[in-house]
Structure 1
Amino acid sequence: MDLTRFGAIGRGVLVGLIAGVVVSVFRFCIEYGLKLVQWVYGQILVTPWLVLPWIVVSVVVAVILGLMVKHEPDIKGSGIPQVEGQLAGELDYAWWPVLWRKFVGGILGIGSGLFLGREGPSIQLGATIGQGVAEKLHRKGADRRSLIAGGAAAGLSAAFNAPIASTLFIVEEVYHNFSPIIWTTALASAIASNFISLNFFGLVPVLHIPYGQTLPLSQYGNLIGLGVFLGVFGYLYQNVTLTMPSWYAKLRLPSWLDGLIPFLLVIPIGLLWPQLLGGGNAVILNIAAHTPVLTALIGIFVLRFVFSTISYGSGLPGGIFLPILSLGAILGGIYAETMVALGWMPQHFVTNFIIFAMAGYFAGIGKAPFTAILLITEMVGTLHHLMPLAVVSMTAYLVVDLLGGAPIYEALLEKLTQPKLPEHSGIQDRLEFPIFEGSVLEGHQVRDFKWPQESLLIAIRRGERQVIPHGDTLMRAGDTLIVLTDRSNRAWVHHAIDHLTAVNT
């Protein structure tokens, strides 16, 4: 009896339970921290002189966060690029210093009302827990990576209460490979983590949005229009987010003090519009329940677009996952209200388009349409939107692709790392590379290609069986190449073989 998968699932459940507790406490602290901050702004409006000590507190918190980032740069930003780099072998770090600093830093930064999301940090928290469990269980190589991936899925699952979408996000966007050992471990971790989170926060979906009726086929033309609209603004968001660090570099502040900018700018926002503070969960629910007029929606979008990129560009611990969804919801409201004003859509479908736009905007920016569709389905709590979600997501995805946009997390990872040159540690590791339809390798024999000298093709997984390859073995779409290489050489070999498995365009 082969107990390999059983053991992987058991370890995944262990990681998921621990990650579920940690991330649920993290989420709880952020939610109540944001409520405290909004209460403080209410007191300042009553007693204006309190703004002076609040400015001092904000500066102190910004400096503390800056020092934490300076001592541990791997806690910067959402953490998803760092996890993706770990799984690809392009970077690594000690798990405990990142875990506690990301936990504390995320609560201080996101809970202070900055336009940052908890989901990216939750993914990194879960991944570091998986890394820690792997270390305690003396797991190396593929087993270690499966626990890191499982922890990442558990972190997102606890943050969003969406275990299926969380698993898919890890294999589609972070790991880029539907390896059986990865997805089974990730799914087990996500389910266990979701169970813990539901005990903390209840069974109501995170973005439970009531709507009037299912969208009729006569409105599907507007879905294409919405997808194009979201794709254009998604491409804009990608470019602004990726260039924001270079704009911060022009300031005369040391980079670790960049957080002072958003911490000071958020004060007038908190005094004028405290309901807009935070990652955007409440913003989405409020807009869906009582959609503002078109001019107000445009103003909210401009404010959240600008300040979310400023917040993230500072390098503070916090993500863009939920801010992207909130911007998508606002854009959906803008598009729908415009169509209503033109007489091309009934008013009662506005809420539907707010829901569809969240998926479309994330699908375009993250280049992960499957995750976007399932995520919004799980978060909203209904299957009735699957077809419209798919149409909008695919349209937005294609528009961003035609404009030349890259997956946002992959692009952020490229800014963190440089491809490594071959090294030798003497410890072997395995890599898996799927062959897709249209790949350069499809329909060719193994001997037709020059494989990296630092690697050895040891097997080809074809369905449920493995083929031992030789020179005249024909490679097919759907195969998975299993490559052996030196552990310290994984990133270099990964880059080299990625060029071989590229899809012809």
Structure 2
Amino acid sequence: MKRPEQERVEEGHGEGPEARARLPVAPSMGPTLAEQRWPRSVEPVDGRVVFISGMAVLLALAAGLVAQGLGALIHLFTNIAFFGRLSTENLSPADHALGPWVIGVPVVGAVIVGFMARYGSRAIRGHGIPEAMEQVLYNQSRIPPRMTFLKPLSAAVAIGTGGPFGAEGPIIATGGALGSLLGQLLRVTADERKALLAAGAAAGMAATFGAPVSAVLLAVELLLFEYRPRSVIPVALATATATGVRMAFVGGAPAFAMPDLVAPSGSALAFYIVMGAVVGLASMGATKAVYAIEDAFEKLPLHWMWWPALGAVVVGAVGYFSPRTLGVGYTNIEDILSGRFVGAAMLLFCVMKFVSWSIALGSGTSGGTLAPLFTLGGGLGSGLGLLATRVAPQLGVDVRIAALVGMAAIFAGASRALLASVVFAFETTRQPMGLLPLLGGCSAAYLVSSLLMRHSIMTEKLARRGGRVLTEYGVDPLSQALVKDHAARQVVTLASERTLEDVRAWLGSGAEGTRHQGFPVVAPDGALLGVVTRRDLLDGAATDGRRVGELLKRPLAVAFEDSSLREAADLMVEEGVGRLPVVCRDAPTRVVGIVTRSDLLSAHRQRLENARRVEQGLRPTRQLAPRASHAG
């Protein structure tokens, strides 16, 4: 019967670096057991994903109810501020009878929001999505719990008193805050907390517009910064659940009803694509204008708490001359898309809306950007479409499709959320004939915006604070490269019984292999015992016949031939080493190679060549062979 020291624990997959295999070691050669550690095999989906998905569904139920509650709260404040009654009836501020006194209503609301920001949380300022992005990127998705009630309350006050914002931004921010709070109450990883935050935010958007697929895409493009099953599945289940909550309250009708569209002609499709590029320029202008106004407020010799009140003076004055600019204005979007609101009056309204919204947002009050952008883009698209019908009627342009493309294209250009913009316009109107124009127009806007503007309206604020936000996602090249293709096969090993005097003399000789920085140590029978570094060998005195095996103090970490370089790199980080002996799974004590940090860097050569090397077509393809690395 074998002693425990002679038994090797069978290998397991997905057990992490804590998994071990026990190897026999002579008492004079260091620890009584060398605990072998190997790369962790991460499964795309496991039991944790089921748990997080269940939490996401519960979170979505709460977010759906919060969305309905915020809508009712906005209606309550609207009724109080503009009609002097306690009611949650959905009335438009444009129907008020206050006359010039209407100018003061947004100012009162802005003063309240300013006090809430100063004495509650400054994070309630803005439209919510950049703030959520910041917490994901720089604070492990930890949002202060007080944001779960301060953000919706401040937004309800701002919008209910005439602020020209949509409710979706605050609802997205509130849903994200709920997800973050849940993730802080539970024992979860930072990645799982991020998934819960994104699930809550996406559920808020789905509960507002009944657009679950675009909400998932928005989460992927602006919050998750990845596309992995373990994060997408909880978000998708959350958006489906939140949409179900919305249907239970308001039914399944599209958010923006419009007459059925017909398939566009080729010439009309070309126009929509060109128009999308023009709207992309407009999205760039809108983004720069908002941040220029924000910069102007920063220069005022006045505490930032009072800035929203100054912006609200403009909101009230504009609202006096153009009452439709006050409040959420979802009906304005529907009227533009359906063709009921067109022509010069509509264009003038859009100009007034832009002035009111940009100044209010730049002043730092609480509100959303999606609805104002949709209004502006829809109005611009409608105007360009109407112009095309009069100047070139042979193109067959439909003003309603032009408005739909404009609505989505301005968001695609301003936010760089291309797929979310296309699918959102489809889900909120249920018009399949608009999909092709939407794809062309939004892609053109996305191209123009990416060429001419370094940051989006969502990331500019983070960039100004010194952050760097990239929204380009690709498969990690290290995850696709295998250790066996990049590890060195000629390994210089040291016998455990060899004396330090002998090894130091060999290192000083300059012979082949002496310049390596690390050496696997093997037993007399060739079994791998551990790794020593050049520093280990040269530090201290080499007296009394000390042997190499006595320097082995840390558990042995190895990589398998079929491990990915990503798994090997993760193990290097976890163990704090710069190299890993490579072994076979069926013989984990036999060294067949060694992989080092330089090998990880060399694995990126193919990616760089693919991105930078311009080749002539119709030529034989040259395969880039893995670089022969050294064992140091």
TM-score (ref. length: structure 1):
0.80
Match of residue 189, structure 1, among 238, 247, 255: 238
The structural deviation recorded for 1:355 is 0.9
The structural deviation recorded for 1:92 is 6.1
Residues 98 and 466 of structure 1: is their aligned pair in 2 closer, same or farther, counting only changes over 3 Å?
A: farther
**Equivalents in 1 of 2:573, 2:69: separation in Å?**
40
Match of residue 204, structure 1, among 250, 253, 265: 253
Match of residue 115, structure 2, among 48, 56, 67: 67
**Equivalents in 1 of 2:288, 2:128: separation in Å?**
19
Q: Does 1:244 align with 2:293?
A: yes
Q: Does 1:352 align with 2:401?
A: yes
- 1:266-415 to structure 2, matched below 5 A, reads 266-292=315-341, 294-344=343-393, 349-415=398-464
The structural deviation recorded for 1:396 is 0.8
Secondary structure in 2 aligned to 1:167? Answer: helix
**Equivalents in 2 of 1:446, 1:300: separation in Å?**
63
The aligned amino acid for 1:167 is V
- 1:92-491 to structure 2, matched below 5 A, reads 94-292=143-341, 294-344=343-393, 349-416=398-465, 418=467, 435=474, 467=564, 469=566
**Equivalents in 2 of 1:159, 1:459: separation in Å?**
51
Matched-pair contact (CA < 8 Å) for 2:415–2:457: yes
The aligned amino acid for 1:328 is G
Matched-pair contact (CA < 8 Å) for 2:405–2:437: yes
Q: Residue deviations 1:44-64, cap 9 Å, x none? A: 74x75xx55x66654443222
Matched-pair contact (CA < 8 Å) for 1:131–1:147: yes
**Which residue in the other structure is 2:62 paired with?**
18
Residues 95 and 249 of structure 1: is their aligned pair in 2 closer, same or farther, counting only changes over 3 Å?
A: closer
Q: Residue deviations 1:351-408, cap 9 Å, x none? A: 1111111111111111111110111111112322211110001011111122134222
The aligned amino acid for 2:415 is G
Overall identity of the aligned pairs, in %: 23
The structural deviation recorded for 1:96 is 2.4
**Equivalents in 2 of 1:168, 1:289: separation in Å?**
26
Matched-pair contact (CA < 8 Å) for 1:114–1:262: no
**Equivalents in 1 of 2:339, 2:254: separation in Å?**
19
Q: How many pairs align?
A: 455
Matched-pair contact (CA < 8 Å) for 1:284–1:326: yes
**Equivalents in 1 of 2:282, 2:197: separation in Å?**
33
Matched-pair contact (CA < 8 Å) for 2:94–2:326: no
The structural deviation recorded for 1:272 is 3.0
Q: Residue deviations 1:444-478, cap 9 Å, x none? A: 99899xxxxxxxxx999xxxx9736478x9xxxxx
Residues 186 and 338 of structure 1: is their aligned pair in 2 closer, same or farther, counting only changes over 3 Å?
A: same
Bigger RCO of structures 1 and 2 (CA < 8 A, at least 6 apart): 1
Residues 44 and 113 of structure 1: is their aligned pair in 2 closer, same or farther, counting only changes over 3 Å?
A: closer
Matched-pair contact (CA < 8 Å) for 2:179–2:197: yes
Residues 15 and 284 of structure 1: is their aligned pair in 2 closer, same or farther, counting only changes over 3 Å?
A: same
Q: Which moved more, 1:269-278 or 1:114-123?
A: 269-278
The structural deviation recorded for 1:30 is 2.3
The aligned amino acid for 1:333 is S
Residues 67 and 417 of structure 1: is their aligned pair in 2 closer, same or farther, counting only changes over 3 Å?
A: farther
**Equivalents in 1 of 2:421, 2:345: separation in Å?**
27
The structural deviation recorded for 1:151 is 0.8
The aligned amino acid for 2:176 is A
The structural deviation recorded for 1:21 is 0.7
Q: Residue deviations 1:125-147, cap 9 Å, x none? A: 00111112222323232221211
Q: Residue deviations 1:89-134, cap 9 Å, x none? A: 3576553211111011010111222111222211110011111222
The structural deviation recorded for 1:282 is 1.4
Q: Which moved more, 1:301-310 or 1:407-416?
A: 407-416
The aligned amino acid for 2:474 is I
Matched-pair contact (CA < 8 Å) for 1:360–1:397: yes
**Equivalents in 2 of 1:37, 1:382: separation in Å?**
37
The aligned amino acid for 2:398 is F
Secondary structure in 1 aligned to 2:398? Answer: helix
Matched-pair contact (CA < 8 Å) for 1:102–1:125: yes
Question: Larger % of helix: which?
Answer: 1
**Equivalents in 2 of 1:346, 1:34: separation in Å?**
44
Secondary structure in 2 aligned to 1:78? Answer: coil
Structure with larger Rg? 2
The structural deviation recorded for 1:290 is 4.2
Q: Which moved more, 1:381-390 or 1:1-10?
A: 1-10
**Equivalents in 1 of 2:140, 2:439: separation in Å?**
34
Residues 483 and 182 of structure 1: is their aligned pair in 2 closer, same or farther, counting only changes over 3 Å?
A: farther
**Equivalents in 1 of 2:71, 2:151: separation in Å?**
13
Residues 27 and 163 of structure 1: is their aligned pair in 2 closer, same or farther, counting only changes over 3 Å?
A: same
Q: Which runs of 5+ in 2 are unaligned?
A: 1-44, 85-92, 489-556, 576-600, 613-632
Matched-pair contact (CA < 8 Å) for 2:324–2:349: no
TM-score (ref. length: structure 2):
0.65
The aligned amino acid for 1:18 is A
**Equivalents in 1 of 2:50, 2:393: separation in Å?**
54
Q: Residue deviations 1:29-85, cap 9 Å, x none? A: 32454466565777874x75xx55x66654443222101112311111111111111
Secondary structure in 2 aligned to 1:12? Answer: helix
Residues 236 and 440 of structure 1: is their aligned pair in 2 closer, same or farther, counting only changes over 3 Å?
A: farther
**Equivalents in 2 of 1:77, 1:418: separation in Å?**
18
Q: Which moved more, 1:28-37 or 1:229-238?
A: 28-37
Secondary structure in 2 aligned to 1:279? Answer: coil
Matched-pair contact (CA < 8 Å) for 2:415–2:458: yes
**Equivalents in 1 of 2:558, 2:455: separation in Å?**
31
Q: Does 1:3 align with 2:100?
A: no
**Equivalents in 2 of 1:5, 1:121: separation in Å?**
28
The structural deviation recorded for 1:217 is 2.3
**Equivalents in 2 of 1:78, 1:59: separation in Å?**
18
The aligned amino acid for 2:63 is A
**Equivalents in 1 of 2:313, 2:117: separation in Å?**
18
Q: Residue deviations 1:171-207, cap 9 Å, x none? A: 1122221021111111111111111122222211111
